[in-house]
Structure 1
């Protein structure tokens, strides 16, 4: 029971941080992450909310990941995309709906958002439960190609960046930083998070290669 509570805590806190970091980047308006720029572009061009497009895209990726991994679709991932979609709409449409920030504050929001995203991903992945389909895709590419997790993440981020650019997403300096830097940042946060989990569960940490 204690172990389940600990893993649930990592999962919940990680998703809250991840959604908050993404929202900060979008609100900073200095370039959202590639996937988030894609969601914003789809919301602007077609309609619906950013959170709704997270759900739609997530369902598609669940199927793609299943094909790449040659496994049954990870329908538990629906839990993650539902929570993420809800939280991001919550931050954007309710908590920070009237937020207006100057350039300096927006720069801090951008930098802080990127770090919070990396920390959030590193924490919630410790639960090994209901991965965000985007992170599931990162793992699937890692599995199929042999690339490291950080390199797999970078390849995917750059590919989605191009798509987001083509359909008019909010591309900027933040997008470039996330595309090339989020993979290494996740790697930087992942091992400390893994050690923290191991201490809390009283088991040896398995170091990521």
Structure 2
């Protein structure tokens, strides 16, 4: 394992890329990931920013994860969800504020770029071995509990979130289904390659 400084760099860059990917999928208006659809739906129906809901929903999941595995809440994960929320709001409200994907081709390119950035960001930041986003902690818990691959565990979590997002009228579309069934395999593709590089 490389130095703590290198791990911090992987952690921050990974979360920044994750936030960028989420923002691109939202901007593509092609259907977001299930969890992001929930956060966008909450923003539209209640208010606050998408990043704020990432933080709030994350707090709820930290408590839920603790109950499910009968352990103390992962309080350090608050830092991770805070940074993730800040990155998403920074991309959406500052960097990409005036960006619009006009036309199907532009939407598709933006959407694909979002998926790749999102999955690579997840695979990168989890290698730093710092507190996980509660959503990804759920993925790891499912992997360990059911003995399935990381990709399969991620897909199970996404499908569960999809059901909740539907109840909150989130922006669910064809893109949502694509993300639901591709984000897991993509994380599974990137993760071992990044792990090997980080440990060299």
Structure 1 stretches of 4+ moved >6 Å: none
What corresponds to 2:167 in structure 1? 166
Q: Is 1:99 the equivalent of 2:92?
A: no
- Inter-partner Cα distance in structure 2 for 1:47 and 1:72: 31
The 2-side partners of 1:150 and 1:69 are apart by: 21
Distance 2:187 2:130 in 1: 17
In the TM superposition, what whole-angstrom CA distance separates every residue of 1:121-152 from its partner, at most 9, and x where no partner exists? 01000011110110011112222232322111
Within the alignment, does 1:122 sit opposite 2:115 as a pair? no
Tell me how far 1:158 sits from its aligned partner: 1.0
Q: Is contact 1:68-1:140 (8 Å) kept? A: no
Measure how far apart 1:63 and its partner are.
1.2
2:79 corresponding residue in structure 1: 79
Indicate whether 1:192 and 2:193 are aligned: yes
Shift of 1:89: 0.8
Greater mean alpha carbon deviation, residues 141-150 or residues 126-135: 141-150
Q: How far apart, in 2, do the equivalents of 1:66 and 1:20 lie?
A: 28
Asked if the contact 1:126/1:194 (under 8 Å) is kept, the reply is yes
Q: Structure 1: which 5+ residue stretches go unaligned?
A: 200-209
Number of equivalences: 198
RMSD: 1.2
Q: Distance in 2 between matches of 1:171 and 1:62?
A: 25
Shift of 1:176: 0.6
- DSSP-derived class of the 1:53 partner: helix
Equivalent in the alignment of 1:177:
178
Aligned to 1:12: 12
Q: CA deviation digits over 1:87-132, x for unaligned, max 9?
A: 1111111111122222211210100110111100010000111101
| Unaligned ranges ≥5, structure 2 | none
The answer (yes or no) to whether the contact 2:126–2:132 under 8 Å persists in 1 is: yes
- Counterpart CA distance in 2 for 1:44 and 1:198 is 43
